[in-house]
Chains A and B, each alone.
Chain A
Amino acid sequence: MVTAGAMPRVVGGATVDLADVQGNILRGYRKARVRHLVVCVTDARRGRAWIAAASARDAMDGARITDGGDWSRPPDTCFNVGLTATGMRALGVPDRIVRTFPAPWQQGMAARATIIGDWGDSDPAHWHARYRDSVSLHLIVSLHADTTALLDEIERAAMALPGGDALRIIGRDEGHRFEGGAVHFGYRDNIAQPRFEGITHPGKYDDQPRAPLGTILLGYDTDMQELRWSLPDPAVLGFNGAFNAYRVLEQDVAGFEAFLDRAADEVLRSPDADELLPPGSDSDVGGGGATRRAAMREVVAAKLMGRWRNGTPLSVSPAHPSQPGVPTNDFDYVDDPQGLKCPYGSHIRRGNPRGGKIVQRVSNHTRRLVRRGFPYGPPYDPARPDTIERGLLGNFLCANLEAQFEAVMYDWLNLGLLDPRLLGSNDPLVGVNDETAGWFRLPTRQGTIILRGIPRLVRTRGGAYTFLPGMSALRWIGSFQG
């Protein structure tokens, strides 16, 4: 067992003191609702008092930052805190210390817009006001519970802690689970997560290599041979912490469904249509009584994602989505170099190429992210079209924003550098597409169908790079005397 008071660098077969790690990093809370509070700290001393109270070992359970320790009785409400660089300064942590953190976090998400594809109508200038003013964006306080009443309760309790008067809530993002774990484009989400060495219970692993703890936490070995991420100074501030790219991603559901209509018609006109949707399989693919066009829409949706909308991976079940008992995460692309089962340009293959062949051959498993997402806004009803904003509140957690989140966004999802057949294309679902230029390769045994005119389906509406300090680090901040 390693505690934060011990040597803050753990190598070889490391275990971690989960009670020193914020719970939302390594635990999926599985609550029905989330509320992210965007908070400005108005007084450094009082703000530190709040951090101290919220992270104190003897704090009341409901108003204490949730750690990942004892999970024998999961709490009804969970409460976590991420700090921006301006937030750490606003709490009175000296600039000389903040400057020992990695540059992307210091600069903030908006300053990295070009790298992560936030341009055009995703440009920070178009973000919600609470995210545009990065000077006032200090904390993201994340609350999880099964009901709105419980969220209200934990919010009141958290803000009533000593020093809570120094926190000004400048915005709230509310998310809630949809039935079956689906998100707005209709896909089941939150399926594939990295499994960490020494964390997951035996028997729960998929076929992917277990990720070293340094993939998600500072202070541990990484997946890059002997390479390790630097800890800030003092090391206690970084140890057991993780970085989070928090994103408010608006999804254009109507645009997505309209694209599926167009793409299905195009594929149906192709000589390869019967290979992709064998005659007689319309009901297996599209559900009972589905038309051929409706079934082909589902084929296209699956090819874009790499999974059928019910979560079944194409790599496991390329012909249809309904195979009970099919593992949802136990597959690889090694046996599918041509992308005949799962296209090499599909969303899940670009974001995590697993063991498949890629150009950057030392990077296959090194950019894993823990993803925790909730839909926001009401489900889209095509019978009653509306213009209500809806999308995903996404948390993309990692130990190094530049080497993991930004590298995935920059050269896998948007540049297509991982495969020469993809260069110059963007991810079909979340990429920076433009209807006049976006394209997607749909490989078949006879050749390739190129779907053109892919619109931009996801737009960034806000976000922040935050650091989720370990519990000892929070107590260090709380007790900092300036």
Chain B
Amino acid sequence: MNALIGWFKHILGRVVVRVWSWLHPTTPLPGGPRTSRQLTDNVMRTMNLVMPLKDKTAIGRARAALVIGSSLDEIYSGLDNVGTVHVARFCIVDNNLLMFSLYDGDFHTYIRDFIVTLGHAFDAVVELIEDTPPTPCWLHVDEFIEWVHRHDALQLPDSPGDLIELVAPGLTNLEDLSRYLVLQLDSNPNVQLGSYRSYPGHSVAEVREKLGVGW
């Protein structure tokens, strides 16, 4: 009986969301961090690229693993030269190639410097992805940055006030918040829910300088 109720709720939920989204078309909010005046919001920013693989078989995943694996030295050296990247990692999760990183400063500058230093290596990576951007990426830099921006997951703010401001700016009845959130997540399935920083407000260069490893 419980299974039947669960199935019924599941179906009802899908139908209700479709009706809601038909009645209230929701524009996906852009991913990545929002502009801020606070120092702590402008360093150690997060990027969560979710890039669906073209080939969703084990062969496709193996090809992605080999392309990334054969480029790692070049990618690490490039990230080092960007100078503002704390950490970066690549994963394959559920047929998506993920690149997660923590960086300082402006998103566009980060991606632009990234292309300058390792555009050649990244061209091979984006060829694995469903909606490949125009390549070579250093000749289509604006399109490439926009492509990365589109694949960067929406970042939901930590504070409830900021969450309302973001997903339901015209909210008059707090009870409607969950509906706005559902509609946004319906159009924007990949989200960052929070990010912990043990040393907020410090740049890569500051940390490296303090550790005496050069910046």
In the complex, what's the smallest C-beta–C-beta distance from B30 to chain A, in angstroms? 11
In the complex, what's the smallest C-beta–C-beta distance from A426 to chain B, in angstroms? 10
Contact A411 B105, CB 8 Å, known A119-B37, A225-B116, A361-B83: yes
- In chain A, residues 219-268, which have Cβ atoms closer than 8 Å to a Cβ of chain B? 224-230
- B138 and A226: CB pair below 8 A? yes
- B35 and A417: CB pair below 8 A? no
Interface size on A, residues (CB 8 A): 30
In the complex, what's the smallest C-beta–C-beta distance from A382 to chain B, in angstroms? 33
Q: Quick one: closest B residue to A101, CB to CB?
A: B142
Interface membership of B61, Cβ < 8 A: no
Contact A410 B142, CB 8 Å, known A227-B115, A361-B81, A419-B205: no
Cα distance A452–B143 in the bound complex, in angstroms: 43
Within 8 Å by CB of B39, from A230, A359, A424, lies A424
Contact A360 B116, CB 8 Å, known A407-B109, A420-B215, A423-B43: no
Interface membership of A362, Cβ < 8 A: yes
- In chain A, residues 190-232, which have Cβ atoms closer than 8 Å to a Cβ of chain B? 224-230
Cα distance A444–B201 in the bound complex, in angstroms: 27
Determine which residue in B43, B105, B136, B204 has the highest number of CB atoms from chain A within 10 A of its CB, and name it. B105
- In chain A, residues 330-386, which have Cβ atoms closer than 8 Å to a Cβ of chain B? 358-363
- A228 and B113: CB pair below 8 A? no
- B109 and A415: CB pair below 8 A? no
Contacts of B140 in A (CB 8 A): 230
- B138 and A411: CB pair below 8 A? no
Cα distance A360–B84 in the bound complex, in angstroms: 7
Interface membership of A102, Cβ < 8 A: yes
Cα distance A363–B209 in the bound complex, in angstroms: 20
Contact A407 B203, CB 8 Å, known A114-B36, A228-B138: no
Cα distance A399–B109 in the bound complex, in angstroms: 15
Contacts of B139 in A (CB 8 A): 226-228
Interface membership of B54, Cβ < 8 A: no
User: Main SS of chain A's interface residues?
Assistant: loop
Interface membership of A161, Cβ < 8 A: no
Cα distance A164–B75 in the bound complex, in angstroms: 56
- A227 and B141: CB pair below 8 A? yes
Contact A417 B116, CB 8 Å, known A226-B138, A230-B142, A360-B83: no
Contact A115 B35, CB 8 Å, known A229-B142, A362-B81, A407-B106: yes
- B116 and A224: CB pair below 8 A? yes
Interface membership of B82, Cβ < 8 A: yes
In the complex, what's the smallest C-beta–C-beta distance from A231 to chain B, in angstroms? 10
- In chain B, residues 194-215, which have Cβ atoms closer than 8 Å to a Cβ of chain A? 201-206, 208-209, 215
- B37 and A423: CB pair below 8 A? no
- A230 and B143: CB pair below 8 A? yes
- B112 and A227: CB pair below 8 A? yes
Interface membership of B119, Cβ < 8 A: yes
- A415 and B105: CB pair below 8 A? yes
- B106 and A224: CB pair below 8 A? no
- B141 and A228: CB pair below 8 A? yes
Interface membership of A169, Cβ < 8 A: no
Q: Quick one: closest A residue to B115, CB to CB?
A: A227
Interface membership of A272, Cβ < 8 A: no
- B203 and A420: CB pair below 8 A? yes
In the complex, what's the smallest C-beta–C-beta distance from B29 to chain A, in angstroms? 16
Cα distance A403–B112 in the bound complex, in angstroms: 8
Q: Quick one: closest B residue to A432, CB to CB?
A: B37
- A359 and B205: CB pair below 8 A? yes
In the complex, what's the smallest C-beta–C-beta distance from A410 to chain B, in angstroms? 6
Contacts of B205 in A (CB 8 A): 359, 417, 419-420, 423
- B108 and A403: CB pair below 8 A? yes
Contact A362 B117, CB 8 Å, known A224-B112, A229-B141, A403-B112: yes
Contacts of A225 in B (CB 8 A): 116, 119, 138
In the complex, what's the smallest C-beta–C-beta distance from A227 to chain B, in angstroms? 4
Interface membership of A174, Cβ < 8 A: no
Contacts of B206 in A (CB 8 A): 420, 423
Interface membership of A284, Cβ < 8 A: no
- A227 and B106: CB pair below 8 A? no
What does the 1/0 interface line of A378-412 toward B look like (CB < 8 Å)? 00000000000000000000000011001100110
In the complex, what's the smallest C-beta–C-beta distance from A441 to chain B, in angstroms? 14
Cα distance A362–B77 in the bound complex, in angstroms: 12
- B115 and A417: CB pair below 8 A? no
What does the 1/0 interface line of A111-145 toward B look like (CB < 8 Å)? 00011000100000000000000000000000000
In the complex, what's the smallest C-beta–C-beta distance from A285 to chain B, in angstroms? 33
- Could you write out 21 A-B pairs with CB less than 8 Å apart? A114-B35, A114-B36, A114-B37, A115-B35, A119-B37, A224-B138, A225-B138, A226-B136, A227-B115, A228-B139, A230-B142, A359-B104, A362-B82, A362-B116, A403-B112, A411-B105, A417-B203, A417-B205, A423-B39, A423-B43, A423-B202
List the 7 shortest-distance A-B pairs measured between CB atoms, nearest first.
Answer: A420-B205, A420-B206, A114-B35, A227-B138, A359-B205, A359-B83, A411-B105
Given A411-B105, A423-B43, A424-B201, 9 further pairs, Cβ under 8 A = A114-B36, A225-B119, A359-B215, A361-B81, A363-B109, A407-B106, A417-B43, A420-B203, A420-B206
